[in-house]
Amino acid sequence: MAMPALPDVPIPGPSLPASALDAFPDDGNRYEVVYGELLVSPSPTNRHQRIQERLGRLIGKYLEQARTAVLRYAPQGYDAGPTTRVEPDLGVIPAALDNQETPYQAGDLLFVVELLSPSTTRADRFTKRRLYQDAGIPTYWLVDLAAEAIEVWSPGATFPLVARERVTWSAPDAGAALVIDVPALFAPI
Amino acid sequence: MAHPRPFWERLNDEFPFGDPAPVPTLPPELLALGPYHSIESLEPFHGRGQRLELVDGELLVTWRCTMAHQRLLRDLLHAVHDYAEQDPAPYAIMNVWAEAPPDALVLPDILVLPRAIARTDDPWPLSALCFVAEVIDPDSVRADRFTKRARYQRAGIGTCWVVDPRREVVEAWTPGAAAPVEMHQEARWRAPGRDHDLVVDLPALFHPRA
């Protein structure tokens, strides 16, 4: 997929501050900055949206029971220092932060999910994954639509665990774990 | 003195490559390994015409560099060499691989490390380097400026220069810095224990006399 054209806004230099994104237009692309590197993602595919919505519903229902954390969808932004702002596909933050007015920090996230698209593979798999690990986010799921698998990353991991059958995640102080049937997640409508 | 055109453009015009060479394809066995790599898994694939580097499991492939890159690198290498290895010479400057097992293996354009470590036969740890310079090439902009630079910072390397011939600037990155210090006239670096700086005249570097 071709890289979307950059908007006609001033670019202060090759390494961007996160604040530069404030001037970017709402044009359907997703603009993020990680350690100064600009990441531009075009609108996701239908399949990406379908699976994101399906997974979001499962996580949301689970969190309604757990009540200790809440789900946020992109384009909710999270900062990490002056040169990083990301908008993960799905992010879970503590319920205590639900009404916070100040910007969320990447370190607030308990759980992050990104769905791989052809145009975001490198960023999701390497650039943002490194950020999520650096920020100490306990669990990062990388949903590989092509392989129909979920990579599970934790802060100290060098390589992911790859789940093809089932994968679990537990919210803090939750009685039971969220269990995702991986083939069912990828099943056609 | 004003220079009508950047060195980068001038040199590439003077030494044209002719038709672009075809991009070599990666061996199918390498592609079959999947998206994440290790130093060990890459071992059979070195020496086949591409530079295969690894940062946090991400494979970075370089297969050519421009004449301008080579010329600029040579001049910078001489300057760093003269500084780092002057008597007494506690430092060595090398063009060698440095690693952080199991998932980082890099070949910086220029690296300086303590001579005591350079004498050993063991692979050199990334964290032992005290200075690294990467000269940006059109094929390696992202890797040099972001991926490798961020890894050098995380390894605690005291100074990383990202030399940008197009902008005619040297970015100096230190561990923990969110933004570089940009140097336009002189690039300076002081090695630990030295009482004077390496000083590189940037207009002369970017606009060498014929």
Q: What is the pLDDT of residues B81-117, one digit of tens each?
A: 888 877 666 777 767 889 999 999 999 999 998 888 8
Taking the CA of residue B210 and the nearest CA in chain A, the distance in Å comes to: 30
In the DSSP assignment, the letter for residue A3 is P
Put simply, whether A127 touches B (Cβ < 8 Å) is: yes
Is residue A152 within 8 Å of residue A170, measured between CB atoms? Answer: no
Strand, coil or helix: what is B105? Answer: strand
* Local confidence band at A175 (pLDDT 50, 70, 90 cut-offs): confident
Q: What is the DSSP letter of B95?
A: -
Q: Which residues contact B134 (CB under 8 A, 6 or more apart)?
A: B108, B109, B140, B144, B148, B149, B160, B161, B162, B163
CA–CA separation, A168 and A58 (whole Å): 12
Of A14, A81, A125, the CB nearest to B35: A125
Q: Left, alpha or beta for B34 (phi > 0: left; psi -120 to 50: alpha)?
A: left
**B105 neighbors B53 (Cβ within 8 angstroms):** yes
Q: Helix, strand, or coil here: B101?
A: coil
Chain A CB contacts of B146 under 8 Å are: 15, 35-37, 127
Residues of B in contact with A159 (CB under 8 A): 36, 38, 57, 103
Query: ipTM above 0.95?
Result: no
Beta strand spans in B122-175 (E) = 124-125, 131-135, 159-164, 169-173
Q: Which residue of B has its CA nearest to A134?
A: B154
Query: How far apart are the C-alpha atoms of A68 and B198, rounded to whole Å?
Result: 56
pLDDT score for B70: 85
CA distances from B175 to B156, B160, B178, B197, B204 (A): 5, 9, 9, 19, 28
* Placement of tokens 């440095």 in the chain: B98
pLDDT tens for B113-142 read 888 888 877 788 999 999 999 999 887 889
- Residue B146: phi and psi, rounded to 5, are -115, -60
Q: Which residues of B touch A14 (CB under 8 A)?
A: 145, 164, 167
Candidates A37, A124, A129: best to mutate against B (most CBs of B within 10 A) is A37
Task: Tell me the C-alpha distance between A165 and A136, whole Å.
Answer: 26
Please state, rounded to an integer, the average pLDDT across all residues of chain B.
85
pLDDT at B1: 43
d(CA A21, CA A33): 8
pLDDT band at A43 (very low <50, low <70, confident <90, very high): confident
Length of chain A: 189
Task: Parse chain B into domains and list their residue ranges.
Answer: 7-206
Work out the pLDDT band at A13, boundaries 50, 70, 90. confident
Residues 6 or more apart whose CB falls under 8 angstroms from that of A11 comprise A20, A38
Of the candidates B102, B146, B182, which has its C-beta nearest A37's C-beta?
B146
Which of A35, A121, A159 is opposite residue B36, by nearest beta carbon?
A159
The domains located in chain A, with CATH, are 44-186 (3.90.1570.10)
Report the pLDDT value the prediction gives residue B20, as an integer from 0 to 100. 47
- The reply to whether B56 touches chain A by the CB within 8 Å rule is yes
**Using one digit for the tens of pLDDT, what is the confidence trace for A87-140?**
999 999 999 999 998 999 999 999 999 999 888 899 999 999 999 999 999 999
The domain defined by B7-206 folds into tt1808, chain A (3.90.1570)
